Each structure stands twice: as structure tokens, then as C-alpha cells.
Amino acid sequence: MQNPEKVQQAADYIHKSLTRPHTAEIGVVLGTGLGDWAESLTHVQSFEYADIPGFPPSTVEGHAGRLIAAQVGGRNVWLQQGRFHLYEGNSPADVCMGVRTMAALGVKTLIVTNAAGALNPQFDAGGLMCITDHINFTGANPLVGINHDAWGDRFPDMSRTYSQRLGDIAMDKALELGIRLEKGVYLGLVGPNLETPAETRAFRIWGADAVGMSTVLEVIAAHHMGVEVLGISCLTNKNLPDCMEETSLDDVIAMAQASTGKLSQLLGAVIGAL
């Protein structure tokens, strides 16, 4: 389990470094290739991860490493531009440092985004998927260790991890905007290699619609702290066992960036409706 004092130190550092007050109940995590949206927002202030005590450095191409106090359609948000992955060598606690810090700063609603491969053959590359549930196939868990009771239960229920309320808002807003939004189950694994055809086939049989290397640990940590969660995957490639295509990080980033317009519109509309 994450050290609560370390999280509090990070939150205290941000509080005391703010040049003007910023309180926000909405947090957003922008995944691989999806950070560009942050550039178009009104920034109140941004904090490099490297300057925040206890934050691991962000080492991934396609990810800036900044926590941003921003405004989206007049609403205050905390925004993680770039996240921490297990495949970078981070511990589960490190992976959840951003999300836990945002919760300590007062975030009650978290919107997580990611780049993912589509396992459901009916989903198109370039599409968006509202995450209805997940399979944590990382073998890791941020709640292992002594429970911090002030944050949440020792054995948190996970029967409704992704908020139906937020999912409905996202579906409504997508419909209004004419954006196709699939619904499905996200399977999170460690990476960094992509899947073999046998793995892809197995994950599909388990009921997964998309696969990626992030999100599940952050969502467990947020849910444990009572934060309401919405997850949106940007489907960057089709990952089908019988017609596997080679995928590279460059392809994933390019495809995610191509979807940034749609995703930004959707996020803006959802945040405006909260």
C-alpha cells in the first residue's frame, strides 16, 4: 500500500506552490499520445513530475510528465499529462502516485484515458470505447500491504468500479456529438511487449474487448478512495489473433493523436455536464 505521508507531501507541495488558489473535484489522466489536448486548455499552473516530491520520473515517449491545474469549459480540473507504468519499472504504488495525489487534492471524479488495442472484432482502430469493467492481469495490486483505513476498506467491493452514471453521461454526450462510442471490458497487463496471437485469443475468450498497459491499478486505487471513475480507451489498433498486424509505439502514438480531436470534444462535453 502507498505511503499516505508521501502522498500528503506531494499534495502539500502543490498547495504551497500554487500562485493562485485552484480547487477541483475533477481529475483527468491523459494516456499515450493523448496529451495534446492539454495544450489547448487554459492552464492555471503546471507542475513537472520531476519537481513534485515522491513522484517517479515519466520515461515514456508520447507522455509529457506534468500535473496541470487547468480549466475545461469553465470547470476547474487537475490533469495528469502522462502517467506512470509498471513496464517502466515502477512499483504499483508509484503507478498510483498521481491519482492518489489528485484525490488528496480533493478530486472526487476521475476520468482515465488510455491507448488500447481492440480485441473485439467489431471495434475499429481509431474508435473510442467507454470502459464498463476491467480485468487486472498485471499480477500487481496497489492495495497490497497495510491498509490505510482513512482512504478505504481493506477489501473494497469492485462490483461497480466504473460509474454507470458517468458512463451514461459519456454515451449521451457522444450521441449528441455524433461520435461513435463503444462499450467494453479493458484488460490491463504489464507489457512492454505486445501480445502473442495465443494471448490475444485467450483474453477475448475471457470477455475482454480491449487490451493495454495501464489504467487498472490507478482505477483500483481511485475506487478504493471512493473516487467515481469514468474510463475511455482510444482504440489505436486491431489486435485480432487470426490476422495479427505488427504494431509499434509510433503507430500507437500516431493513431491516438489522430483521435485526440474526438476525445477532446467528448471530454469537454462530459466535464461540462458534471
Residues in the site for ligand HPA, rule: CB under 6 A?
115-117, 194-195, 211-213, 236-237, 239, 247, 252
Closer residue to ligand HPA, CB minimum distance, 38 or 194: 194
Rounded Cα distance between 36 and 73, Å, is 17
111 membership: H or E segment, kind and range? strand 109-118
Alpha helices in the chain (DSSP H): 4-17, 36-39, 92-95, 97-104, 164-177, 197-205, 216-224, 249-273
Closer residue to ligand HPA, CB minimum distance, 12 or 251: 251
The least distance separating ligand HPA from the CB of residue 160, rounded to whole angstroms, comes to 25
The least distance separating ligand HPA from the CB of residue 229, rounded to whole angstroms, comes to 19
Closer residue to ligand HPA, CB minimum distance, 106 or 191: 191
Closer residue to ligand HPA, CB minimum distance, 133 or 195: 195
Nearest to 270, CA basis, from 186, 210, 181: 181
The least distance separating ligand HPA from the CB of residue 14, rounded to whole angstroms, comes to 29
User: How open is the CA angle 157-166-190, to the nearest 5 degrees?
Assistant: 60
Closer residue to ligand HPA, CB minimum distance, 150 or 198: 198
Closer residue to ligand HPA, CB minimum distance, 23 or 196: 196
The least distance separating ligand HPA from the CB of residue 68, rounded to whole angstroms, comes to 23
169: left (phi over 0), alpha (psi -120 to 50) or beta: alpha
Q: How many DSSP H helices and E strands does the chain contain?
A: 8, 9
Q: Which residues contact 114 (CB under 8 A, 6 or more apart)?
A: 31, 32, 34, 186, 212, 214, 215, 231, 232, 233, 234
The least distance separating ligand HPA from the CB of residue 263, rounded to whole angstroms, comes to 14
The least distance separating ligand HPA from the CB of residue 242, rounded to whole angstroms, comes to 15
Pairing of strands 109-118, 128-136: unpaired
Residue nearest to ligand HPA (CB): 117
